Structure 1
Amino acid sequence: MQFITKINSRYYTELADTETKKFLDKLGDKSTSPEAYRSVMFKLGVKLGNSILKSINSQSNVYLACTVEDADFLAKGILTTLEPKVSKLAFACFWNQRFSPFEINELKVAPILKKYQEPVNNDIVQYLIVIKSIISGACVVRTNLTNLIQKIEPEKILIAAPVIYKTAEEKLRSEFNKDIYSKFEFFYFAKDSTRDDQGIVLPGIGGSVYERLGFEGQDEKNRYIPEIVKSRRHKLVQKIYTG
């Protein structure tokens, strides 16, 4: 990834145009309402989707995976952009519970509470795309990716987020063997190098994504069933029963 500008502790990549930077500023603005925040996340998803489209074969089978809080916003933007342009797109959504054993941030884990995962049957998956609103310690991405590659053997693994922390790429690669991390390609608009005492990346995406999106913390977001999951699950069930 090539960096083209630096402002304070943030590096912008070549993928971040002027409009994208304004969107990121909107996320960082504490006065941005949850409704506006959700809208910006969707628009950033569209931007990421367009960036990914320039780097993949449009005749490919794609598997797109996200977390529950990102599903109806960031992930929907990427999915809306990619699905009409690729041969086939399957989707997975994970509900993770993040916590720190012994209250040590660097030891954070994110077990999967439940998941929605569409089958690939015997299809070859050219691109597995793992989406996250921000990647810092990478525990959620690591957990979900580990689960996915037990059933999917992609040719390439694309990790996509609007913002990542400066050590995120190295941290994530260190969690996997070379035969896995050699498939990684990262797509992001900004890399930040500062975190506060609670481990929140600054400016990052303006704090905890759960609250910024309008959820009352982690427990509520884990009770949420995204509209995109409801819709795709309904279509999948219909397809199974109609043959």
Structure 2
Amino acid sequence: MSIVRREYSALAEEGGAARSALAALLDARGNPAQYAKTMYELGSILGERVAGAIPKSDSCLLASTAEDADYLTRGIYESLKLDHATKAAVFWNHHYSVPGGSIAPVVHKFLEPGYESSKTLVIAKAVISGSCVVRTNILELIEQVNVDKIYIVSPVMHAKSEQSLRKEFSEDVASKFVFIYLAIDSEKTSDGEVVPGIGGEIYGLLGLPDQPARMSFMPKLVKQLASF
């Protein structure tokens, strides 16, 4: 697949692991196991970068959608845990369109005990096409956690997403945002899908029949953390 109107960040240099993984992600469409493995690799790459930017003395709260939890988010989580006290929050967002835009209310959530003391918030998402899901998940946490920085982490973002998200918050909150990504795409389909993005809608690419909020889906990460 030819990639058009894509810009890479400094983290995805030509010939490097990040750019290779982005290409492998598109090639893995139709193979959920390979797709998941590649998304985990991208999470590890991004997680290493985020971990290096956060002082080792700072505790972290990593927030994720349920569909991203076991692959992208786990890659980030395992990188953060190497040097930082890290807690996890997982949200089941019911994402749907309404006249003039879309909304993504949280219908279920998992908050790992002790998350309230975190000093850094990390928001993970496989692809950011607008502000809807990320905005909702930040709002779910921002009044409960007094953080110094909010890292918004994704393999691929749409070119207008950062500006759109910043407009949704006060200057005091928006000034804490740090965006870490590998690629910026400028095109969208008529239904809002970023092109080439991550190759389509994440649910089907991971082998899920529907949004986790509409089905009895429990991420392995949540099972692991809830068992302690």
TM-score computed with the length of structure 2 as normaliser: 0.93
Match of 2:63 in 1: 65
Per-residue deviation at 1:217? 2.1
In the TM superposition, what whole-angstrom CA distance separates every residue of 1:115-156 from its partner, at most 9, and x where no partner exists?
Answer: 001233763x22100000000112001001001112111010
Q: Does 1:111 align with 2:105?
A: yes
Match of 1:161 in 2: 154
Measure the CA separation in 1 of the matches of 2:147 and 2:213. 33
Choose the corresponding residue for 2:5, options 9, 18, 21: 9
Output the amino acid matched with 1:142. R
Any stretches of 5+ residues in structure 1 without a counterpart? 1-6, 236-243
| Identical residues among aligned pairs (%) | 37
In the TM superposition, what whole-angstrom CA distance separates every residue of 1:186-227 from its partner, at most 9, and x where no partner exists?
Answer: 000000000112211111000001000110122577421011
Per-residue deviation at 1:53? 1.8
Match of 2:142 in 1: 149
In the TM superposition, what whole-angstrom CA distance separates every residue of 1:21-67 from its partner, at most 9, and x where no partner exists?
Answer: 11111222364500000000000000001111221111211111000
Per-residue deviation at 1:229? 0.2
Match of 2:72 in 1: 74
Per-residue deviation at 1:84? 2.0
Choose the corresponding residue for 2:97, options 87, 97, 100: 100
Output the amino acid matched with 1:138. S
C-alpha contact 1:45 1:75 (8 A) present in aligned 2: yes
Tell me the number of residue pairs that the alignment of Structure 1 and Structure 2 aligns.
Answer: 224
Greater shift after overlay, 180-189 or 50-59? 50-59
Measure the CA separation in 1 of the matches of 2:216 and 2:145. 27
Match of 1:171 in 2: 164
Any stretches of 5+ residues in structure 2 without a counterpart? none
CA RMSD of aligned residues (A): 1.6
Match of 2:198 in 1: 205
Match of 1:50 in 2: 48
C-alpha contact 1:215 1:221 (8 A) present in aligned 2: no
Measure the CA separation in 2 of the matches of 1:118 and 1:45. 20
Choose the corresponding residue for 2:33, options 30, 35, 59: 35
Largest Rg, 1 or 2: 1
Measure the CA separation in 2 of the matches of 1:188 and 1:48. 7
User: Do the aligned partners of residues 29 and 121 (structure 1) sit closer, same or farther apart at CA in structure 2, a change above 3 Å counting?
Assistant: closer
User: Do the aligned partners of residues 219 and 187 (structure 1) sit closer, same or farther apart at CA in structure 2, a change above 3 Å counting?
Assistant: closer
Output the amino acid matched with 2:10. E
Output the amino acid matched with 2:8. Y
SS of equivalent to 1:216: coil
